[in-house]
Amino acid sequence: MKRIVDNFRKKLLDGEAVYGPFMKSGDPAFVETSGYAGFDFAILDMEHGPVSLETMQNNVRAAQITGMMPIIRVRDHSPESISQALDIGAGGVQIPQIRNAEDARCVIEAAKFQPLGDRGVCRFVRAANYSSMDRNEYFRQSNERIVVLQVEGQEAIENIDSILEVKNFDILFIGPYDLSQSLGVPGDITNSKVIRQMELVVRKAREHNVATGTFIDTIANYNLWKSSGLQYFSYSVDVGIYYEACRNILNEFKK
C-alpha cells in the first residue's frame, strides 16, 4: 500500500489530475475491474453504500491488487469509523459533512497517530500486516495515509478560510449535490449559485496550496471544471456506470 499511496500523492504534488468512481455495489469484482480499467482511485462508500466493514476489506484488497488507490468514505466523524477504515488497510479516508475548523481538526486527529493526532492504537490489524510489520514503520506509514475533507453545505463555505488553516489533510472535496440543496436548488449542480460557491472554494484552496476535488456524473460537468484547477475528480458511481452501459447497449440493439 505504501507504493500506491506514494504514487497517488506524487501525482497530486506534481499538479496532475486523478480520476476514480464512487463504489456502492459491495462487489470486489467491480473494484478490481475499475483498477484494471486504469482509474487512479476508487471511493469505497460507507456513508451511502450498504457495505459492511467485513466486506469492505475485500474491496480494499481488490483495489490494491491492481495498484488503484482505495479511499473509504466513512459513515460519520466518529473516531471509530475513521480508525476502522484505516485498520482494514485503506490508503485514505474521506470524511463527509465537514462544517468548520473544529470538525476538521477532530477528524484529522482521529486519522493520525502521535505526534500528528491521537488515533487509537492496535497493531493486530490488516494495515499492520496483522502485527508482523515493525511498529515504528506502521505508525510512520499510517500517518502518511491520505485524508480527504468533504465540504458540502453553506455553513462549510462560510467557514472555508478557517478550515483551510487546519494542517495535515491532503484534499478538500466539494460535494455539489448537498451544496445545491443547502443553497435552495436541490440537484441543480450547474446552477450559478452552486458554481459561484464552488469557484470560491477552489480559489481559496489554491491560495493555501490545497488540492481540491468534486463529484461529476457527466462529461459535460467534467468539461465545466477541467480547467479550474481541480485535481481529484470522482466520476459517477459503479452502479450508475453499469446502468448507463447496459442502457446504451440496448439502445444500440433497438436501432
- Catalytic-role residue among 48, 135, 203, 226: 48
| CA pair distance 250, 228, nearest whole angstrom | 36
Length of the chain (residues): 255
Q: Determine whether 77 is an active site residue.
A: no
| CA pair distance 31, 26, nearest whole angstrom | 8
Residue in the block written with cell 492504537: 121
Q: Which three-class secondary structure state does DSSP give residue 9? A: helix
Q: Which helix (DSSP H) or strand (DSSP E) does residue 19 occupy?
A: strand 18-23
| CA pair distance 107, 88, nearest whole angstrom | 18
Q: Which residues contact 226 (CB under 8 A, 6 or more apart)?
A: 17
Catalytic positions are 48
